[in-house]
Structure 1
Amino acid sequence: MTKLTYRFQEGKKEWKDLLGGKGANLCEMTNLDLPVPNGFIISTDACKNYLAQEEKTLSKGLIAEINFQVKELETLTNKSFGIGLNPLLVSVRSGAKYSMPGMMDTILNLGLNDETVYALAEITQNKDFAFQCYCRFIQMFADVVYNIPAENFGAIPTGTKEKSDWENIISNYQKIFARATGRKFPQDAFEQLQIAVEAVFSSWNNQRAKVYRRIHNISDNLGTAVTIQQMVFGNYSENSGTGVMFTRNPATGEKGVYGEYLLKAQGEDIVAGIKTPEPICTLQEKMPDVYAELIEIAMQLEKHYCDMQDVEFTIEAGKLYMLQTRNGKRTPQAAVAIAYDLMKEGVISEETLINRLDEEMIAQLMHPSFTNDAKKKAAIVRGLPASPGAAVGQVAFTAKAAKEMSDKGSQVILVRNETSPEDIEGMSVSEAIVTARGGMTSHAAVVARGMGVCCVVGCEDLQVDEEKGVANFTNGILKTGDFISVDGSSGRIYLGQLALNEAETSAVLEKVLKICDAHATMAVYGNAETPREIKEALLKGAKGIGLARTEHMFFQKERLKMMRELILADDRSRMDEALVYIKEKQKSDFRQMYQILGKLPCTIRLLDPPLHEFLPQDRSELRAIAKELNLNGQEVIAKVKSLAEVNPMLGLRGVRLGITCPEIYQMQVAAIMEAALEISAQEKITITPHIMIPLVGTVKEFRIVKDSCQEVINGLFEKTGTNLPFEIGTMIEIPRACLIADQLAAVADFFSFGTNDLTQLTYGYSRDDAHKFLPTYTHQEILPSDPFQHLDQEGVGKLMRFASENGKQEKESLSVGVCGEVGGDPASIAFIQTLPVDYVSCSPFRIPNARLACAKAAIANKKQLIKL
């Protein structure tokens, strides 16, 4: 029979698949001889077995193992479970492979009943403590197992000033439980335990856990382990308490312990944000010995795990117990800073640093901040800066309202007294999260940091009435739909919509990205053509421009007018006049590009779209254009009608335009080369223009257009008496071009994969219309994902492999790049790394992500080659 339960002494940290993250780390801490309360773990295999059954019940074998482990725990603790003068109480906690804070369920103080509560009161000489624990247990058991809200039972008396009638309180709690469930509160501790384990297993499939897994791309098939652990009591006495501590600041990454604790409280109090905790540094004054031991253990754990740790601890009557350690959730800023510092300290390697970061973190670092002028405005409320960033949006007071507002297109800020796991769907669609209560380790803070969402917690001057949909602050009131601005870096909240700055790359991030560049084997270029975009691409680390789309240069008013003049001209002289005008404008564009880029490579794509895209289709607009250009209205309408195509994306565009209207490409090539010659002479450098002919499907059409371009270039060199190196290549975006890549490579200087069109033409999906059915296809798993966002490796990827390998085989010097949308997608980059590709090119804002993705792909590929 397969073993389904493990004592803490039997496991280790590597067993997260089997024991869950929490359980595996408890085993590791136990084996490090740290003060961990005894316990055992029910494996994820048991959970998967349970969930696979039609009628959900624990197997007889599992029940027997659980009972055996409880007996072993009784022996270790010298306590008895459910009976006797020294009762054993346990916590029952979920623990999946990946940390899912607050998403599943926990039950504390299990083992109390109408008899053992008196035994606990007697042995502790503290009746208030014992009965408070019993009340907590009934509340949590009812909530987790039967979905009875804790507030149905009312607040638990503190018992500090007035003597509580505990017997009557417990009797009322049990009556509430019985009315809601139709059964008496279970008195048998083993029955309690069995029901609790089933509830924790079932919580794997609760709605909030499913939403969390979807947001964080966690598989639904992993299941959760269940940790059964001897209770230690932070609410036992005045010198007892509970806390959460990070070995580094989870918001900024700054080195040094960072956390909070509450005296005379249990762990759920601090995580739920019900009370505002004290900063961990004050524990040094109140309990210096405990503080010193805690710091020593925390540092030992960070060194052991080679990462920032998030530890949970309890102090019972002055004695420290460790309840959990895990790699701490952190903001993207902190993730970069911590990984870099650990690398500099020699704790981790550069490869580990790179693999420890993910591309989404880098993307989140590109988020904006408020302008300095905007921040001069007085804040209406201030709280704790739990997750940095800046956000502007409309207030919603419930998760449901946030989701509904977001679905309608609103930017939403969720404002709550405190969040709970049930709020996850509303939190996930919010630009920022604000809570009136809670600390830096509350549910809102932890989840927001994990999602990279701006968050401010503990806004004590904010009184939120969620039912009425209002929140009062010192000088006013917020209502649903009001605009506010949230600064997660300072904790300030402003009324109205503050102006935002574009995000700036931090010095540490730039150092990390330079390390990435050193490990990458593919370069990262930018897709850009305007001076602003090119500067932005270079600022973000682009090694050149992989795609400058000349059609994007024609949409200024005067240029568009002359482009229309060119298309609609009724005689050669007017056409030539338009070409001269456009050439000078294009030349000015290219001069600016080369001035910014200098010797860095820049691939300029000649005109690609169909000509009709420069013209309106409405007859009244066409008549207005005819009047503006002094042309006959009816003739213009007729000309536009003649240009219309049934399927323009497969019609007169790209290289076909270069053959049927060679004057356009000749004009563009002349502008490119004249600009390059002038800037080369001016800056005393050698620019190598890269001219790309799009949509090639046959060798002959490429030769015709290339020869035409070459003729213009040779004439220019002869006229000026100067020359420059240059390259003429093609965009590989037609399946046929992939299949004849060796023939094309014989005459082309470079290849650049246009994956947008290549995907469109391989699948036969219109890029402009695929949104109508792709969501259905991905939902029904007909396709694993949108192939325009994530490269289709089985089809498009095979064509790219065939083309790049055959092209390089024909011409070793052939440069090969990828400049479609997938050039900035990490999953696609991982595949592209396996091809003989020299660079990827993407939009400027995706360049930092791509730099990290290229480094990770190169490291992974290197490891794979070593294995082979």
Structure 2
Amino acid sequence: MELLENVKTRVYKFGNKKADGNRDMKNLLGGKGANLAEMSSIGVPVPPGFTITTEVCAEYNELGRDAVVELIKNEVEASIANIEKLMGTEYGNKENPLLVSVRSGARVSMPGMMDTVLNLGMNDEVVLGLVKKTNNEQFAWDSYRRFIQMYGGVVLGMKPESKEDIDPFEEIIESLKDKRGIKLDTEFSVQDLQDLVYDFKDLVRKRTGLLFPTDPWEQLWGAIMAVFNSWNGDRAIYYRTMNGYPADWGTAVNVQAMVYGNMGDNSGTGVCFTRDAGTGENVFNGEYLINAQGEDVVAGVRTPQQITKLGSQRWAELAQIEEEERKELYPSLEELMPSIFEELNGYQDILEKHYRDMQDMEFTMQDGKLWILQTRNGKRTGAAMVKIAMDLLKEGMIDEKEALLMLEPNKLDELLHPIFDPAALKRSNVIAQGLPASPGAATGKIVFFADEAAKYKSSILVRIETSPEDLEGMNIAKGILTARGGMTSHAAVVARGMGKCCVSGAGALKINYKKRTLTVGEYEYHEGDWISLNGSTGNIIEGKVATMEPELSGEFAQIMELADKYGVIKVRTNADSPKDAKIARGFGARGIGLTRTEHMFFEVDRIKAMREMILADTVKVRKQALEELLPMQRVDFEGIFEAMEGEAVTIRLLDPPLHEFVPHQLATQKELAEDLHVPLQAVKNKVAELEEFNPMLGHRGCRLGNTYPEITEMQTRAIIEAALNLKERGVICKPEIMVPLVGTVKEYEAQEEIIRNTASLIFEERKDSVEYLVGTMIEIPRATLMADLIAEKADFFSFGTNDLTQMTFGYSRDDVSKFLPIYIEKGILKEDPFEVLDQEGVGQLVKIGTQRGRSSKPNLKVGICGEHGGEPSSIEFCYNTGLDYVSCSPYRVPIARLVSAQAAIKTTL
């Protein structure tokens, strides 16, 4: 990267109805910067400012601080001068000071994952000038103490020393509150705030050995670089990994003139949504605080009030308060400041129509003037996502293709998981009430610290309030419960983005981190106790509550119908039992792409016969054992065929090595020897004989069928007889028999001969026949290169990308966890290749195999049945490669159907 190449624009200005950028520049300006520019251009009142591009973040990571300051210094100084001109103030001027905020802004919303600093430009002289200018000592000193606290935490790294401790600045605040006998920050006197400023600066000196910086430009550069640093902070890295966002995107930095919500009772701040982010209902809603700055709302330090009268009625804990009393204690913005509310309501309508999507907006009221600080497409639950898309379609704001493209496929998963059983809820004990911040049902054991969320299989993270540092624990926990914060707090917004059940603002909770207790009235609960959360009502329930399968909405069905209308690549399922097949059929699966027959052998009544077959010394004894297994397999296949009536069912012949079926513990070996009336040593010898150094490359797949052809004969008989039995009952079956792990043409030919000879014999015995296909699973790199020869014999190909990935990379799935996380962290790999198809390597083999196969047989049916069959980007690749179908687990079928449509639509744009 050339340091002296300073010709490109690195800083983009906005303000006063003008902007250098627009909303289409999110990759360069980040989502926040692009939207600030767009809002400014369309006349929405946005505090003027500028955006430092995401490319500068990459330059910072490569060149370092000093080089980047040199690169952008002139542009930043010119942009500050532009803000000064528009605001009529001067940065660093003690008589007429301009203060600014510094915020992050990635191309996608990452709420709370990176850093923000407000009130930059403050020092001991500027605060006095601000007092004189505003005639408001309370506001000026409150802004100063906030600045020192934020700068100390974000730029100087002054965090709690241990998880049981609170923020060191908050510790000073709480101590002063106790001394003064007050509860809220707004109750501090001017002298209190001055004392906090002194104590905060003293804390900085003691902790860092440095004096708090007083030069406004030193403060500004420190904050800008801290935001760049936060892109590679632990919580940002975890969030990116969790959502699959590349590390090389980087973050933009947004610098804006400060506007103040903490100037008194005629000022305030809030967050609002043009529609309900939890349910999708077309209701303007949100929360606000009087005499506060923006971070107060999302941090959850004070539980905010609702914007609309309708919104305030959703606060369950206020349900018993009389209307007049509610207005006095908890007035909505609509009631308290009707003119501001009407103006805000007008802007939310303009912005939703302009962006044609539900908007999440931040605003500040400064002494009666409204400013819009941000807008973005709002994060929403899966249920809200579906309803909003269908409502916008019905309202004529978007068309069918746009409705499908605005959906996040993986969020459909939220709609398919259990809810509380109503009967169990009737018998439950509701111990407290909070705000229904994110819908869903969660039950688990209490944990109080995010890094302990994995202590139990099912946990509920209980916090006074959450912070971005809690992200990993929030992701692990089944649900999140906070004592503070509203519907737009950090816990609520992040939980909705994750599709995680959350109850926030449960003020009745008393949480003691040191004792690890949760007290609600007369009840006391400890770490490890069970509680349940109803994210749809805000109820907090004692103990474990039973769940049940959800009922899908009418909008969900409409979305699936639209997906099938535009989708081209078909979606099958991976199902090993009739139950799974029925679930998948209910979700719209068009057949089965993989039935793993080995899973049928592990049940208690079958494993004995399987082991007897493995221990057999002669073909005769082996066949006798297989005769016992035959009716069991046949019944399973009948159930699966019936569940998938009229659709193709691909059944894979026995694949894993035989050692997986034998007992490895001495006690079970003794038990098997007694059951089979053979010496214990014979069992031990057989187990030792079957043990393989690397079973992934050993005696498995078609190698088993070719060395023990009687196994293939038995499985073929079970499949064909099951199909014939159902044919007699009028059920249409379409069996497809798949030979696994083929690497040579002769391997396939040997298995195909056994299958077809066995089927012909059965047809003669039964005086009837069914149509069936014989094909193979392509999972060895050599098979992709020999695909043209294999296709001359095979009716279909199914790419088994799990093993194909293992063999292409040379990675063992059982051992990859030792190094793969480090590879991803260091950027050696962008993604886990077992989760997301490696399109550059493994994907190319899929392309080669498909092209060569169809060069011999143009109508060759080709699909994919590995885990990648349910992953959105992998499905899109399969569509673009020309595959006929993807196959995935039952609960991923709706996701795959949606991606099938999205992939087809994208090719027409």
Q: How many residues align?
A: 858
Amino acid in the other structure paired with 2:568: T
Which residue matches 2:165? none
Structure 1: which amino acid aligns with 2:412?
A: I
Partner residue of 2:279 out of 252, 255, 261? 252
**Counterpart for residue 305 of structure 2:** 278
Alignment deviations for residues 431-463 of structure 1 (CA, whole Å, 9 cap, x no partner): 322111110111121222223322111010001
Identify which of 560, 567, 571 aligns with 1:520: 567
Match of 2:904 in 1: 858
SS in 2 for 1:845: helix
Deviates more, 1:426-435 or 1:237-246: 426-435
Change (3 A) 1:375 1:54: same
Deviation, 1:67, is 3.6
Aligned match for 2:235, one of 199, 208, 212: 208
The offset of 1:119, in angstroms, is 4.5
The 5 Å alignment of 1:171-186 reads none
- Label 1:706 to 1:497 Cα distance change in 2 as closer, same or farther (>3 A): same
2:296 matches 1:290? no
Which residue in 1 is equivalent to 2:451? Answer: 403
Secondary structure at 1:516's aligned position in 2?
A: helix
Alpha-carbon displacement from aligned partner over 1:731-776 (angstroms, at most 9, x marks no partner): 2233333333222222222222223333444455544455555556
Q: Which residue of 2 aligns with 1:843?
A: 889
Task: Compute the displacement of 1:309 (Å).
Answer: 0.7
Given that 1:92 and 1:107 are in contact with CA atoms closer than 8 Å, whether structure 2 keeps it comes out as yes
- Superposition deviation, residue 225 in structure 1: 3.4
1:592 corresponds, among 639, 658, 664, to 639
**Residue pair 2:137, 2:190 contacting (<8 A) in 1 also:** no
Note the 1:320-359 alignment, pairs <5 A.
320-359=370-409
AA matched with 1:810: S
Q: Give the corresponding residue for 2:425.
A: 375
Contact 1:132 1:158 (C-alpha < 8 Å) held by counterparts: no
Contact 2:172–2:196 (CA under 8 A) maintained in structure 1 = no
Deviation at 1:301, TM superposition (A): 0.4
Q: Which residue of 1 is the match for residue 414 of structure 2?
A: 364
Structure 2 residue 11 is the aligned partner of structure 1 residue 5: yes
Q: Which residue does 2:795 correspond to in 1? A: 749
Distance 2:259 2:395 in 1: 36
Residue identity opposite 1:150 in structure 2? F
Equivalent residue of 2:880, what SS? coil
| Range that drifts further, 507-516 or 576-585 | 576-585
Structure 2 SS opposite 1:375: helix
Given residue 258 of structure 2, which amino acid in structure 1 is its aligned partner? M
Structure 1 distance, partners of 2:284, 2:717, is 63
Name the counterpart of 1:261: 288
- One-letter identity of the residue aligned with 1:483: W
* Worse overlay, 216-225 or 739-748: 216-225
Contact 1:505 1:540 in 2 (8 A): no
Q: Does 1:150 align with 2:156?
A: no
Which of 440, 452, 466 matches 1:389? 440
Partner residue of 2:527?
Answer: 480
- 2: CA distance, partners of 1:444 / 1:463: 18
Q: Distance in 1 between matches of 2:568 and 2:745?
A: 30
The whole-number CA distance in structure 2 between the counterparts of 1:546 and 1:586 is 18
Deviation of 1:850 (Å): 2.4
Task: Provide the C-alpha distance between the structure 1 equivalents of 2:94 and 2:811, rounded to a whole number of angstroms.
Answer: 72
AA in 1 matched with 2:169: A
Specify whether residues 621 and 346 from structure 1 end up closer, same or farther in structure 2 by C-alpha distance, changes over 3 A only: same
The residue that corresponds to 2:315 in the other structure is none
Give the deviation of 1:280 after TM superposition: 0.7
1:866 match: none
Give, in angstroms, the shift of residue 246 of structure 1: 0.3
Amino acid at match of 1:691: I
Cα-to-partner distance string for 1:98-157 (whole Å, 9 max, x where unaligned): 333233333333444445544444444433333333333344344443345433653699
Per-residue Cα deviation, 1:54-82 (whole angstroms, up to 9, x for no partner): 45477356444444333333332333444
Q: Which residue of 1 aligns with 2:328?
A: none
Q: Where do residues 387-786 of structure 1 align in structure 2 (5 Å cutoff)?
A: 387-398=438-449, 402-404=450-452, 406=454, 410-503=457-550, 505-568=552-615, 577-617=624-664, 621-622=668-669, 624-630=671-677, 649-683=696-730, 685-771=731-817, 774-775=820-821, 783-786=829-832
Paired amino acid for 1:353: A
Kindly indicate whether the alpha-carbon contact (under 8 Å) linking 2:262 and 2:291 is maintained by their aligned counterparts in 1. yes
Which secondary structure state, in structure 2, belongs to the residue aligned with residue 609 of structure 1? coil
Distance 1:696 1:20, change over 3 A: closer
Point out the more displaced range, 577-586 or 454-463.
577-586
* Paired residues for 1:83-102 under 5 Å: 83=93, 86-102=96-112
Q: Does 1:109 align with 2:125?
A: no
Match of 1:825 in 2: 871
Q: How far apart are the structure 2 equivalents of 1:425 and 1:217?
A: 15
Gaps of 5+ in 1: 864-868
The structural deviation recorded for 1:259 is 0.2
- Structure 2 CA distance for aligned equivalents of residues 61 and 817 of structure 1: 51
Q: Report the Cα offset of residue 53 of structure 1.
A: 4.2
| Aligned-partner Cα distance in 1 for 2:197–2:819 | 57
Alpha-carbon distance change, 509 to 556 in structure 1, aligned in 2, over 3 angstroms: same
Pick which of 111-120 and 15-24 moved more: 111-120
Deviates more, 1:773-782 or 1:366-375: 773-782
* CA 753–59 in structure 1, closer or farther in 2 if over 3 Å, else same: closer
Would the alpha carbon gap of residues 699 and 112 (structure 1) be closer, same or farther in structure 2, given more than 3 Å must change?
Answer: closer
State the percentage of identical aligned residues: 48
Give per-residue Cα distances to partners, 1:687-741, cap 9 Å, x unaligned: 3322223333343443343333333333333344333222222222333333332
TM-score normalised by length of structure 2: 0.86
CA distance in 2, matches of 1:788, 1:160: 55
Displacement of 1:569? 5.1
CA RMSD of aligned residues (A): 3.3
Q: Distance between the aligned counterparts of 1:161 and 1:736, measured in 2?
A: 74
- CA displacement at 1:536 relative to structure 2: 1.4
- Tell me if the contact between 2:94 and 2:128 (Cα under 8 Å) persists in the aligned partners: no
- 8 Å contact 1:805–1:835 — kept in the other structure? no
Task: Show CA shifts across 1:174-202 (max 9, x none).
Answer: 55555556565555545544444444444
Cα distance change of structure 1 residues 811 and 144 upon mapping to structure 2, 3 Å threshold: closer
Q: Would you say 1:228 and 2:228 are equivalent positions?
A: no
Structure 2 CA distance for partners of 1:195 and 1:591, relative to 1, 3 Å: closer
Q: Distance in 2 between matches of 1:319 and 1:197?
A: 28
Amino acid at match of 2:496: R
Pick closer, same or farther for the CA change 1:109–1:631 going to 2, 3 Å.
closer
1:798 aligned counterpart, secondary structure: helix
Aligned with residue 77 of structure 1, among 73, 83, 87: 87
The answer on whether the counterparts of 2:169 and 2:200 sit within 8 Å (CA) in structure 1 is no
> Secondary structure at the residue paired with 2:118?
strand
Greater Cα shift, 467-476 or 349-358: 349-358
On the 8 A contact 1:437/1:458 being kept in 2, the answer is yes
Tell me which residue corresponds to 1:27: 37
Mean Cα deviation higher: 362-371 or 631-640: 631-640
CA 56–546 in structure 1, closer or farther in 2 if over 3 Å, else same: same
Letter in structure 2 aligned against 1:134 = Y
Gap regions ≥5 residues in structure 2: 1-5, 159-167, 178-183, 309-331
Q: Distance in 2 between matches of 1:328 and 1:441?
A: 11
Q: Distance in 2 between matches of 1:165 and 1:609?
A: 72
Letter of the structure 2 residue corresponding to residue 231 of structure 1:
M
Q: Is the 8 A contact 2:736 2:773 kept in 1?
A: yes
Q: Does residue 308 of structure 1 match 2:355?
A: no
Contact 1:526-1:546 at 8 Å conserved across structures: yes
Aligned match of 2:322: none
CA distance in 2, matches of 1:665, 1:615: 20
2:845 pairs, out of 799, 804, 810, with 799
Which piece of structure 1 moves more, 253-262 or 310-319? 310-319
CA distance in 2, matches of 1:203, 1:226: 11
1:242–1:747 Cα change, 3 Å: same
